[in-house]
A and B are shown apart, each in its own frame.
Chain A
Amino acid sequence: MLEIKDLHVEVDGKKIINGLSLEVGAGEVHAIMGPNGSGKSTLAYVLAGREGYEVTKGSITFDGQDLLEMEPEERAAAGVFLAMQYPVEIPGVANMYFLRQAMNAVRKARGQPEIGAAEFMKKLREKARLMGVKDELLKRDLNFGFSGGEKKRNEILQMAMLEPRLCILDETDSGLDIDALRTVADGVNALRDPSRGMIVITHYQRLLDYIVPDRVHVLARGAIQRSGSKELALELEEGGYGALLGPEFAHESASAGAA
């Protein structure tokens, strides 16, 4: 469903992604691991359509459509969802109101009727319970003053409500304690579906104990250096990037700045 071919991306004139190719089929979960600055978050943002990321070469197609030609909202309507590493705090916009707006915007773009208030509430309560998101949090302003864990749960709640076809999780595990990690992983696993693809971006193998991937890719210096089964993550965890990719990658983890 997703096909990335020889992707090159620059941010402020700096090359971040250099010839990345990746295919994700329906029903598959792909993990992308990599050190800081390897281009993981850049890949996530390019897929979601954030401004400021210039694709200088290559292509991304999603269900046969040219994803790069689409506005962020068109991608959302087509079924792309990015659970962000740093969900944005938006004071003045109630969480629940926003969720309903988003759902109806996506439904409208997909030619579906708006969801009724009662049906929406029923669905929201069900998904919120699953994600351990309290009623109080639904009534508050979007992500405003939420703890790190609350923000991540709220992202996955949005994902569950919007029912995307391609889920991209950008370091969803960062800042989570083990209980929160389990809840979030359960929520993600509940969305695993033969019609749905997932890209799980993470620093640590730990998340992959809970969300077990079909494929693991190691991203470094803007390209996928190795791909393999879930065991690759364990191998990486034990030996580090140097052992896995060669001595020239040994110090990648120490390189500063997330890109």
Chain B
Amino acid sequence: MAVARRTIEPVPAFEAAFAQARERLPGAKLPALADWRQASFARFREQGIPTNRVEAWKYTNVARVVNVPMGLAPKVQVRLDDLAPYLAGGPKARRMIFVNGHVVPELCHIESLPAGLRITSLGKVLEAEPEKVTAILRATAEDDRSFTALNAAFAGSGAWIEVDDGVEVVEPLQLLFLTVGRPEPFMTHPRNVVRLGKGAKLRLIETHAGSGEGQSLTNLVTQIELGPDSALEQDRVELLNDGASHIGKAYVRLADRARLVQTVATLGGGLVRNETEARLDGSNIECLLNGLYLACGKEHVDNLIRVHHEKPASHSDQFYKGVIADRAHAAFAGKIIVHKDAQKTNGYQKNDNLLLSDDAEIDTKPELEIYADDVKCSHGATSGNLDPVALFYLRSRGLERETAESLLTFAFAAEVIERFSDETVRRQVRRVALSRLPGGAALGDLA
């Protein structure tokens, strides 16, 4: 009997790309960095690319994404006008802008930061403090995940954000990643590191947008460390093109009484895979993970969430909603793991889906894994179509079928949209969500 193959061979193109890139990445000459990148690439080579036989990748076939040779993209010129549709956070927001993986310093707005707030590019801190930074980045190496290893091998792009103890940052910070399509396929490997000290507060907006045709892969890794009593509100919007694939994983660690509110909207992208692994390493933590995916055409969106309750008396809540139209395919796998010592845990999870066509597909798998005996946990998943009685009601008042369908769909999605912490993000998501609905034009004033 043949042994089930766990991986496919990473295409040799990755080798070529790495050989080229390692000479040019930030701090390439620093031995500590070069060795770490080399070791990371070796780990990637060893782990390979997961196939559908790996449970966590059952519904997402990445072979078609990685089976093309991809190099790193050269720098491209963009004007602020090109970015205007994606700017969020209001006029006072601080901002870092990355285009095809390269930070664009002249378009960033991170000067004259208050004491206790550090926002810079990963490339810069890698060059300045290679030992300290790689020690922090290394935390993700425990994870047996090839895309994370690949990201480490190419590390150099991304944002480094540190908020010191007791510092409450008033203005939101936007990280904008723009992918501008090119004739040749290319990849980027951004890594964002967000570290909040004791009692620190930050509102973070992360925007991943795409323009132009062409194939690309964004292999993102995010590391979030929240100190005791700190609070992070993270709004994340993905507005990618059909040719763009986005594979990301966020590693989140929360200490006592920390609070995370993460709200994600996926509103486009040929293949989008978002993973979040949150470790609640303390008590009285609040970890709220909200998500909306609105997939049309032949898009593929896959969300995978793992919430680990490691200590007693913390609260987590996953609330994901999906709208799947046309021939799109979505998957959701959420899991709450309550460790042995995590008594008095409250863990909730809900995934509701609206299927708008016979060819749309959703695979949803909510899971609980509980090793403590005094916990309150629940999970649930639904999928269904628009309510025909509600549709008739709206149409009987004069709304055209398409408008009525879009209005009901939008109402379904709005429950998540209202959870974004930033009003400009809410407006942006409403606008884009409406533009993706066939009858959305008639409902423009809902944005």
Residues of A whose CB lies within 8 Å of any CB of B are 48-51, 71-73, 75-77, 81-82, 84, 87-88, 90-93, 97-98, 101-103, 105-106, 109, 158, 162
Q: Which of A72, A92, A101, A102 contacts B392 (CB 8 A)?
A: A72
Residues in A with CB closer than 8 Å to B415 are: 91-92
Q: Which residue of A is nearest B443, CB measured?
A: A101
Residues in B with CB closer than 8 Å to A72 are: 392, 395-396
Residues in A with CB closer than 8 Å to B401 are: 71, 73
B385-401 residues with Cβ-Cβ distance < 8 A to A are 387-390, 392-401
Is B368 in the interface zone, CB < 8 Å from A? no
| Complexed CA–CA distance, A50 and B412 (Å) | 23
| Complexed CA–CA distance, A97 and B390 (Å) | 16
A101–B396 contact, CB under 8 A?
Answer: no
Question: Could you list 10 A-B pairs, sorted by A, with CB under 8 Å?
Answer: A48-B392, A72-B392, A76-B396, A88-B387, A91-B411, A92-B411, A93-B411, A102-B398, A105-B403, A106-B398
Q: Which of B397, B403, B410 contacts A76 (CB 8 A)?
A: B397
Is B414 in the interface zone, CB < 8 Å from A? yes
Sample of 18 further A-B pairs with CB below 8 A, known A105-B397, A105-B399, A105-B403 = A48-B396, A49-B392, A49-B395, A71-B401, A72-B396, A73-B399, A73-B400, A77-B398, A90-B390, A90-B394, A92-B411, A98-B394, A98-B407, A101-B399, A101-B403, A106-B397, A158-B397, A162-B398
Residues in A with CB closer than 8 Å to B404 are: 73
Is B13 in the interface zone, CB < 8 Å from A? no
Shortest CB distance A145–B (Å)? 15
Residues in B with CB closer than 8 Å to A82 are: 396
B398–A90 contact, CB under 8 A?
Answer: no
Shortest CB distance B438–A (Å)? 15
Residues in A with CB closer than 8 Å to B167 are: none
B396–A90 contact, CB under 8 A?
Answer: no
A73–B395 contact, CB under 8 A?
Answer: yes
Shortest CB distance A11–B (Å)? 14
Shortest CB distance A82–B (Å)? 6
B380-432 residues with Cβ-Cβ distance < 8 A to A are 387-390, 392-401, 403-404, 407-408, 410-412, 414-415
A-B contact count (CB 8 A): 78
Q: Which residue of B is nearest A82, CB measured?
A: B396
A92–B446 contact, CB under 8 A?
Answer: no
User: Which residue, of A73, A81, A87, has the highest number of chain B Cβ atoms within 10 A?
Assistant: A73
Residues of B whose CB lies within 8 Å of any CB of A are 387-390, 392-401, 403-404, 407-408, 410-412, 414-415, 442-443, 446
Residues in A with CB closer than 8 Å to B393 are: 84, 87-88, 90
User: Which residue, of A48, A72, A87, has the highest number of chain B Cβ atoms within 10 A?
Assistant: A72
| Complexed CA–CA distance, A103 and B403 (Å) | 13
Q: Which residue of A is nearest B387, CB measured?
A: A88
Shortest CB distance A73–B (Å)? 5
List 3 tightest A-B contacts by C-beta distance, closest first.
A92-B411, A76-B398, A106-B398
Residues in A with CB closer than 8 Å to B398 are: 73, 76-77, 102-103, 105-106, 109, 162
Q: Which residue of B is nearest A99, CB measured?
A: B397
| Complexed CA–CA distance, A90 and B399 (Å) | 14
B395–A92 contact, CB under 8 A?
Answer: no
Q: Which residue of B is nearest A48, CB measured?
A: B396
Q: A93 with B389: in contact, given A82-B396, A109-B398 (CB under 8 Å)?
A: no
Residues in B with CB closer than 8 Å to A90 are: 390, 393-394, 408, 411
Shortest CB distance B394–A (Å)? 7
| Complexed CA–CA distance, A72 and B407 (Å) | 16
Q: Which of B392, B408, B411 contacts A51 (CB 8 A)?
A: B392
Shortest CB distance A46–B (Å)? 12
Q: Which of B389, B399, B414, B443 contacts A88 (CB 8 A)?
A: B389
Q: Which residue of B is nearest A72, CB measured?
A: B395
Residues in B with CB closer than 8 Å to A158 are: 397
Residues in B with CB closer than 8 Å to A109 are: 398
A75–B396 contact, CB under 8 A?
Answer: yes
| Complexed CA–CA distance, A88 and B387 (Å) | 10
Q: Which residue of A is nearest B415, CB measured?
A: A92
Residues in A with CB closer than 8 Å to B446 are: 97
| Complexed CA–CA distance, A77 and B396 (Å) | 9
B410–A92 contact, CB under 8 A?
Answer: yes
Shortest CB distance A44–B (Å)? 10
Q: Which residue of A is nearest B418, CB measured?
A: A92
Residues in B with CB closer than 8 Å to A88 are: 387, 389-390, 393
Shortest CB distance A156–B (Å)? 13
Residues in B with CB closer than 8 Å to A51 are: 388, 392
A92–B390 contact, CB under 8 A?
Answer: no
Q: Which residue of A is nearest B417, CB measured?
A: A92
Q: Which residue of B is nearest A108, CB measured?
A: B398
Shortest CB distance B408–A (Å)? 7
Residues in B with CB closer than 8 Å to A81 are: 396-397
Shortest CB distance B385–A (Å)? 13
| Complexed CA–CA distance, A84 and B397 (Å) | 11
Q: A76 with B411: in contact, given A88-B389, A97-B446 (CB under 8 Å)?
A: no
| Complexed CA–CA distance, A98 and B443 (Å) | 10
Q: A102 with B399: in contact, given A51-B388, A51-B392 (CB under 8 Å)?
A: yes
